[in-house]
Amino acid sequence: EVQLVESGGGLVQPGGSLRLSCAASGFIFSSYPMHWVRQAPGKGLEYVSAISTNGGNTYYANSVKGRFTISRDNSKNTLYLQMGSLRAEDMAVYYCARKRCSGVSCFFDFWGQGTLVTVSS
Amino acid sequence: SFELTQPPSVSVSPGQTASITCSGDKLGDKYACWYQQKPGQSPVLVIYQDTKRPSGIPERFSGSNSGNTATLTISGTQTMDEADYYCQAWDSSTGVFGTGTKVTVL
């Protein structure tokens, strides 16, 4: 059974840092690109960051570029998101998601349960 | 930048058909997928590659995509289908989510 379990969320002051983790199991982690998607309270889904299977390619939304760093450790089946210079607008539930492609069609077929990041003084 | 627009809300009576649209420039040239999200839960994929249903998704969920609009149709809507629905497509390898639609079954 595919499982994605996020951790590391919590309360942080504006300007602070936090590292999120996503532990994967039930599939060959190193074979899948992985992504972070967030959802601010009462708002829609926002694509945040992506990383290729071997970590050699990464992507960041403009809203987090230069402040967040995505990484993965395939030996530990774990995805990370290092968040820095946090702002009030970064407050959200952060989901990790597995990207699967069927031919040229790609989608997120499994999502974690999410971890809440609260930015407040 | 590429944007996907959905109606904020759709209401439907039990047993009737609900249609949720997702509009974006030349969206029909891309593949669209749809996610269902119930309160306090993670999103669940209900349609991928415009029209395909993942294993375990009821047949009452169907999709189409042409021109500038993708559509998710729920036939014979049930109360359990009350949720937020998001379309999603890719633009230059970047994931783009729609604005989301709240489906109310009443």
A63 touches chain B (CB under 8 A): no
Question: What is the enclosing helix (H) or strand (E) of B96?
Answer: strand B94-97
Give residue B13's pLDDT band: very low, low, confident or very high (50, 70, 90).
very high
Q: Enumerate helices (H) and strands (E) in chain B, giving the number of each.
A: 0, 9
**Nearest CA to CA, how far is A86 from chain B (Å)?**
23
pLDDT tens digits for range B21-59: 999 999 999 999 999 999 999 999 999 999 999 999 999
Mean pLDDT along residues B13-22: 98
Contact A47 B44 (CB under 8 A): no
- pLDDT > 90: percent of chain B: 94
User: What residues in B contact A105, CB-CB < 8 Å?
Assistant: 31, 33, 48-50
Residue A103: per-residue pLDDT:
85
**Half-sphere exposure at residue B68, Cβ-oriented, CA atoms within 13 angstroms:** 8
Contact (CB<8Å) A107/B45: yes
Give the model's pLDDT for residue A64.
97
Place of tokens 């904020």: B8
| Alpha-carbon gap: A79 to the closest alpha carbon of chain B (Å) | 18
User: Closest-CA residue in chain A for B55?
Assistant: A109
Report the C-alpha gap between A33 and A57 in whole angstroms: 10
The whole-number average pLDDT for the span B49-77 is 97
Residue B93 confidence (pLDDT): 79
Size of interface A-B (CB pairs under 8 A): 58
Q: Is A41 on the interface with B (CB under 8 A)?
A: no
* Rounded CA separation A78/A25 (Å): 9
pLDDT in tens, A76-116: 999 999 999 999 999 999 999 999 998 889 999 999 999 99
Question: For B38-81, where are the E strands, in sequence order?
Answer: 44-47, 61-66, 69-74
Please report the sign of the dihedral spanned by the C-alpha atoms of residue B35, residue B36, residue B42, residue B48: negative
Is B42's CB within 8 Å of A113's CB? yes
Give burial (CB, 10 Å; 0-12/13-18/19+) of A61: middle
Q: Is some CB atom of chain A closer than 8 A to the CB atom of B63?
A: no
In this prediction, residue B51 carries a pLDDT of 97
Which chain B residues contact residue A109 at CB under 8 A? 45, 48, 54
Whether the CB of A34 is below 8 Å from some CB of chain B: the reply is: no
Enumerate the residues of chain B whose CB falls inside 8 A of the CB of residue A33: none
Contact B21, B73 (CB under 8 A): no
Judged by a CB distance cut-off of 8 A, whether residue B95 touches chain A is: yes
The DSSP result for A64-89, as a single string, is TTTTEEEEEETTTTEEEEEE-S--GG
Instruction: Tell me the residue ranges of DSSP E strands in chain A.
Output: 3-7, 10-12, 18-25, 34-39, 45-51, 58-60, 68-73, 78-83, 92-102, 105-111, 115-119
Of A59, A105, A112, the CB nearest to B48: A105
Identify the band that residue B92 occupies on the pLDDT scale cut at 50, 70 and 90.
confident
Mean pLDDT, all residues of chain B: 97
Q: Give chain A's radius of gyration (CA, Å).
A: 14
pLDDT tens digit string along A16-68? 999 999 999 999 999 999 999 999 999 999 999 999 999 999 999 999 999 99
Could you tell me which of A95, A97, A91 has the C-alpha nearest to residue A119?
A: A91
How far is it, in rounded angstroms, from Cα B37 to Cα B30? Answer: 23
